[in-house]
């Protein structure tokens, strides 16, 4: 379980997170939606200790971690896997070595075990057979999947995904969404997905949180969000509901 209690984060005179309270259950797929600059990515960075809150607490599996030092945070980070908005692969390394990089650095594995983990991770994202290709030889959507494989190779308990479908066509978007859903269920991870795509959230989320100006303005299951009277949520839903009405 993950808990944010009264979380505040400031940058200079700008308060990005304004006393946020949120509980995320183990094994849950949670989507965090909101307009740009409302603090969604800042929330993830506070969770993994890349940023420190100015007030409030962060609890992970019953442990209060927000005041941890860098050294204390290392075991926490090992529980977390983060997939960034852009693939962020090493251009000069093969797909195999991109995925193996984290395994070699963080896990005590033999060469054979590393090979097995890389192959298994690529199989999970439906990319078997591309081990010796360079990132430039893959489409952007395939690079995103390699990035996801690199993260899940370390078997994180918590999967953090930042804007997974930005810049992707609808077919690839659906494939990435399905991957996140299937991986979360197969690996029993707690998944937190930062997104601006309400359709993605409605398709695979267990629960959706909508943020605006550093606050949570609504949250609930996809069915509950569809009935929301909050103006921002209605704006996110308007195009989707219109399309459904036309079908």
Residue 130: predicted pLDDT: 95
pLDDT for 50-68, tens place per residue? 999 999 999 999 999 998 9
Domain range for residue 133? 2-246
Q: Which of 163, 209, 175, 234 is nearest to 31 (CA)?
A: 209
Q: What CATH number is given to the structural domain containing 114?
A: 3.40.50.300
Classify residue 20 by its DSSP letter: E
How many domains in the chain?
A: 1
pLDDT for 136-173, tens place per residue? 999 988 898 899 889 888 888 999 988 877 777 787 78
pLDDT for 78-127, tens place per residue? 888 888 878 889 999 999 999 999 899 888 899 999 999 999 999 888 88
Residue 29: predicted pLDDT: 95
Give the residue, 58 or 199, on which the prediction is more confident.
58
Element (H, E) at 116: helix 111-124
């Amino acid at each position: 379980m993950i808990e944010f209690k009264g979380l505040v984060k400031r940058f200079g005179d700008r308060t990005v997170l304004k006393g946020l309270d949120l509980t995320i259950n183990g094994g849950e797929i949670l989507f965090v939606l909101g307009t740009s600059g409302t603090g969604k990515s800042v929330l993830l960075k506070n969770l993994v200790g890349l940023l420190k809150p100015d007030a409030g607490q962060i609890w992970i599996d019953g442990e209060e971690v927000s005041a941890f030092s860098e050294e204390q945070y290392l075991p926490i980070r090992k529980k977390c896997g983060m997939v960034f908005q852009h693939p962020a692969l090493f251009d000069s390394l093969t797909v195999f070595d991109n995925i193996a990089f984290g395994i070699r650095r963080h896990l005590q594995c033999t060469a054979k075990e590393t090979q097995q983990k890389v192959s298994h991770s690529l199989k999970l994202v439906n990319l078997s057979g591309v081990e010796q290709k360079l990132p430039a030889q893959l489409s952007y959507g395939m690079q995103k999947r390699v990035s996801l494989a690199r993260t899940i190779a370390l078997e994180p308990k918590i999967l953090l995904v930042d804007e997974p479908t930005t810049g992707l066509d609808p077919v690839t978007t659906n494939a990435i969404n399905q991957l996140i859903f299937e991986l979360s269920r197969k690996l029993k991870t707690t998944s937190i997905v930062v997104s601006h795509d309400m359709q993605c959230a409605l398709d695979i989320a267990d629960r959706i949180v909508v943020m605006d100006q550093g606050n949570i303005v609504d949250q609930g299951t996809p069915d509950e969000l569809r009935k929301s009277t909050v103006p921002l949520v209605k704006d996110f839903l308007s195009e989707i509901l219109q399309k459904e009405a036309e079908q």
